[in-house]
A = this chain, B = another copy of it.
Amino acid sequence: TINGQRLNDTLHQTCEFGAAHRWGPKSTETGMARLALTDTDKQVRDWFVAEMKALGCEVKVDTMGNIFAIRAGENEGPPTAMGSHLDTQPTGGRYDGILGVMAAVEAMRTLHESGRKTKYPVAAIDWTNEEGARFPKSMQASSVWAGDITLEDAHALADVTDDKVTTLSELQRIGYAGDVPCSWEANPLGAHFEIHIEQGPVLENASQRVGIVRGGQAYKWFEITIRGRDSHAGTTPMDCRADPMLTAAHFIVAASSIARAHGGLCTNGIFTAKPGSVNTIPNEVRFSLDIRHVEDAALAAIEAEIRARTAEITKTGYKVECVIEWKPLYANPAIVFHPDCVSAVRAAALGNVDEKDTREIISGAGHDSCCTSKRVPTGMIFIPSKDGLSHNPEEYSTPEDCALGAQVLLDAVLLYDSQ
């Protein structure tokens, strides 16, 4: 049995690395700003490595900075892994990703204390830049591991705020450019389990405690650039403008309503305009587009409709027109988890709570498990999020739910290992 108090204490202790955005008087009432590969990410990584070594684990760091802490089993072979991520959003909370790694640490501590032998090795993993907040590709490092994107492309990916800072330069700067190949073939896993907060309102609204995750929705990210002509705000008639700001506003309104009509989601989180002067019509605006749907076909329809509608928007009727450029940043197809892992999660859940307290659920967010599931059997456990809120400093899950989730994680891993 895991130690729920220790789990929650450890989670909040390590949140000292990167705590930010205080919203209440208690010491734990802050959010987090621990962006991938920053100094505070290095601090929590160092803590994780030291902690796992103290439990007798072998620790490997791969070329994307993913950290694998491996506890030997009775037999050699690819480990059954418990993984998630320690990086956060710029205005993130204390649970997204962090709970998954802390639950893996707690599971390892429990195995260690009980002297429990597993058939095969068990691993705890911290995956690099799951959020995609600093380097704009979510699950960046688990995507490389899964062979979805190349190591070169991932290494070259720059900080969203500074072209000159790349993933590789930051991995090197903080000392986490390891030499183990980042590859499911060269550094394989037997299976991957992950506990995560739901980040949405479904479990809370149904008063249920454990989500047995069946898969994840499809999503795509783009960087949209609209170019027009900079000219004077006071002397340029409305009919003689190629205004990329106004075109972008039409784009965002249209994209949102198209996604909504299809039952999907649309978000524009980043936006910049050049040259940035009150009385100059911009010559270029750039913004991110994140579209999602549970079905691949519907997502494709949303994208096609936005492309068609916005191609019309650029037609200013004036001799100078705006031009829209779509740069794909990321694409994650709809994911279906492995039936053996889903069964292990279900059995583990039912060992801890009544069936009515559980539900099968599709993840709205991407997770490292979406990447691992392309290569090895994968399963996930969700626990409720207060107000369905995530990517927000006030993100919250109860200590009891965190402890329950960690227990289900360990039980699912042991069940899978024993089969």
Q: Which chain A residues have a beta carbon within 8 Å of chain B's beta carbons?
A: 89-91, 131-133, 136, 138, 160-161, 198-201, 217, 219, 221, 229-238, 240, 243, 245-246, 248-253, 256, 259-260, 265-283, 285, 288, 290, 292, 329-330, 363-366, 385, 388-392
Contact = CB atoms under 8 A, between A and B. Distances in A.
Contacts of A243: 267
Given A233-B269, A275-B90, A280-B91, A253 B250 contact: yes
Given A219-B234, A238-B266, A249-B249, 14 more contacts: A89-B275, A90-B277, A91-B280, A199-B232, A233-B265, A236-B364, A236-B388, A238-B256, A238-B265, A245-B269, A269-B273, A270-B276, A271-B285, A279-B391
24 contacts: A89-B275, A90-B275, A131-B277, A160-B276, A199-B232, A219-B234, A231-B390, A231-B392, A232-B365, A232-B389, A232-B391, A233-B269, A234-B265, A234-B364, A234-B365, A235-B363, A235-B390, A236-B265, A243-B267, A246-B253, A249-B252, A269-B276, A271-B271, A271-B273
Contacts of A229: 389, 392
Contacts of A330: 278
Nearest to A250: B253
A283 B394 CA distance: 13
A336 to B, nearest CB: 17
A394 to B, nearest CB: 9
Contacts of A366: 234
The complex is assembled from copies of this chain, and their number is 2
Contacts of A392: 229-232, 283
B268 A245 contact: yes
A329 B408 CA distance: 57
Nearest to A253: B249
A254 to B, nearest CB: 9
Residue in A89, A133, A235, A275 with the greatest tally of chain B CB atoms within 10 Å: A235
A77 to B, nearest CB: 34
A257 to B, nearest CB: 10
Contact of A391 (B249, B251, B280, B391): B280
A268 B217 CA distance: 36
5 closest Cβ contacts across the A-B interface? A200-B235, A235-B364, A233-B267, A90-B275, A249-B252
A131 B279 contact: yes
Contact of A246 (B198, B200, B237, B256): B256
Contacts of A385: 235
